[in-house]
C-alpha cells in the first residue's frame, strides 16, 4: 500500500503572499504621496492579491476552512471597494455591512475551525476599547450611531476571538482593530486627525489582513501535515 507524501514544514509557501506585499507597499506609498491615480486601483487590487496568496499557499483540496477564509477576504474586498462598486449607495454604510460580514466569518473561524488555545484573559481590554471609542465618537456619529456601535461589537469580538488562533492571528486581530479605530476617527472627526492618517489606516489594515491570512494558512498546513504523518504511520502500527 502506498502512503501519501508528508508535506514538508518549510516556509516556502509564504512567497505566495509576495504579490500582496508588493501591492500593499505601492498602495501605502502612493497614498502618502497623494498619487490618487495609483492609490485607488491598488486598493482594489489588495484583497484579490491576498486571495491569490491563500489559494496558492494551500494546495487542493482546500476544504471549508479555506473557503471561509477566502469568503472573508472577498467580503473585505467589497468593503474596500464599496464606493467604486456601489456608487449609487451611501459608501460608509456599505463599508460597515461588508466588513461586518467579514468579521463575523473571522469570528466563526477563530472560535471553531482555527482555535488552538483558549481565549486570552487579556482580551478583556477590548471591552475597555469599545467603551472608550463610543464615548469619544458618539457625538459625531449622528444617524450611524447604532450601526457603528453594532459594528464595534463585531470588531472587538474579532480581536478577542483571534487570541484563540495563535500568536500570528492574534497580532492580525490587533492590527485590524487599530486600523478600524483610526479609520473611525478619520471618518467621523476628520478635523481632529493628524496628517498621514490615511496611510496609517492602510498600513495597519494590510498588516492585519496579512497576519490573519498567514496565521490561518499556517494552522491549516500544520494540521494537514499532522494528518499525513498519522496516515503514514498507520501501516507500521498495523
Q: Residue 5's pLDDT is what?
A: 44
Give me the percent of the chain exceeding a pLDDT of 90.
74
Rg of the chain (C-alpha set): 19
The DSSP symbol for 34 reads: T
pLDDT above 70 (res 237): no
Q: Does residue 82 carry a pLDDT above 60?
A: yes
Share of the chain above pLDDT 70, in %: 93
CB 46 within 8 A of CB 206: yes
Element (H, E) at 35: none
Q: What is the pLDDT of residues 151-176, one digit of tens each?
A: 999 999 999 999 999 999 999 999 99
Contacts of 24 (CB under 8 A, 6+ apart): 46, 49, 202, 206, 210
Residues with Cβ within 8 Å of 17's Cβ and at least 6 positions away in sequence, in order, are 50, 53, 57, 210, 213, 214
pLDDT given at position 235 = 62
> Of 38, 104, 23, 25, which is closest to residue 71 (Cα–Cα)?
104
User: What is the pTM (predicted TM-score) of this model?
Assistant: 0.90
**Residue scoring higher pLDDT (134 or 226):** 134
Residue with cell 477563530: 110
pLDDT > 60? residue 227: yes
Residue for grid cell 490573519: 212
Check: CB of residue 126 under 8 Å from CB of residue 160.
yes
**Closest to 198 measured CA to CA, from 219, 206, 103:** 206
Average pLDDT of the segment spanning 93-108:
95
Measured between its terminal Cα atoms, the distance across the chain in Å is 12
In order of 32, 62, 108, the CA distances from 158 in angstroms are 28, 23, 9
- Name the band, by pLDDT with cuts 50, 70 and 90, for residue 7: very low
pLDDT, tens digit, 9 for 90 and up, residues 103-114: 999 999 999 999
Amino acid at each position: 500500500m502506498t502512503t501519501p507524501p508528508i508535506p514538508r514544514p518549510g516556509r516556502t509557501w509564504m512567497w505566495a503572499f509576495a504579490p500582496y506585499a508588493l501591492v500593499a507597499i505601492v498602495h501605502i506609498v502612493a497614498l502618502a504621496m497623494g498619487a490618487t491615480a495609483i492609490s485607488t486601483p491598488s486598493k482594489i487590487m489588495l484583497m484579490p492579491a491576498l486571495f491569490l496568496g491563500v489559494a496558492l499557499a494551500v494546495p487542493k483540496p482546500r476544504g471549508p476552512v479555506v473557503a471561509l477564509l477566502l469568503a472573508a477576504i472577498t467580503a473585505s474586498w467589497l468593503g474596500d471597494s464599496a464606493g467604486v462598486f456601489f456608487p449609487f449607495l451611501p459608501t460608509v454604510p456599505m463599508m460597515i455591512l461588508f466588513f461586518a460580514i467579514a468579521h463575523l466569518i473571522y469570528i466563526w473561524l477563530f472560535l471553531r475551525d482555527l482555535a488552538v488555545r483558549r481565549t486570552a484573559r487579556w482580551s478583556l481590554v477590548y471591552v475597555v476599547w469599545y467603551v472608550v471609542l463610543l464615548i469619544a465618537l458618539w457625538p459625531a456619529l449622528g444617524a450611524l450611531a447604532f450601526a457603528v456601535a453594532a459594528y464595534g461589537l463585531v470588531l472587538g469580538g474579532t480581536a478577542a476571538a483571534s487570541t484563540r488562533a495563535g500568536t500570528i492571528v492574534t497580532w492580525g486581530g490587533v492590527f485590524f482593530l487599530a486600523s478600524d479605530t483610526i479609520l473611525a476617527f478619520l471618518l467621523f472627526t476628520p478635523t481632529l486627525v493628524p496628517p498621514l492618517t490615511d496611510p496609517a489606516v492602510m498600513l495597519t489594515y494590510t498588516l492585519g489582513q496579512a497576519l490573519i491570512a498567514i496565521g490561518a494558512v499556517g494552522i491549516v498546513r500544520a494540521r494537514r501535515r499532522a494528518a499525513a504523518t498519522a496516515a503514514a504511520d498507520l501501516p507500521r502500527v498495523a
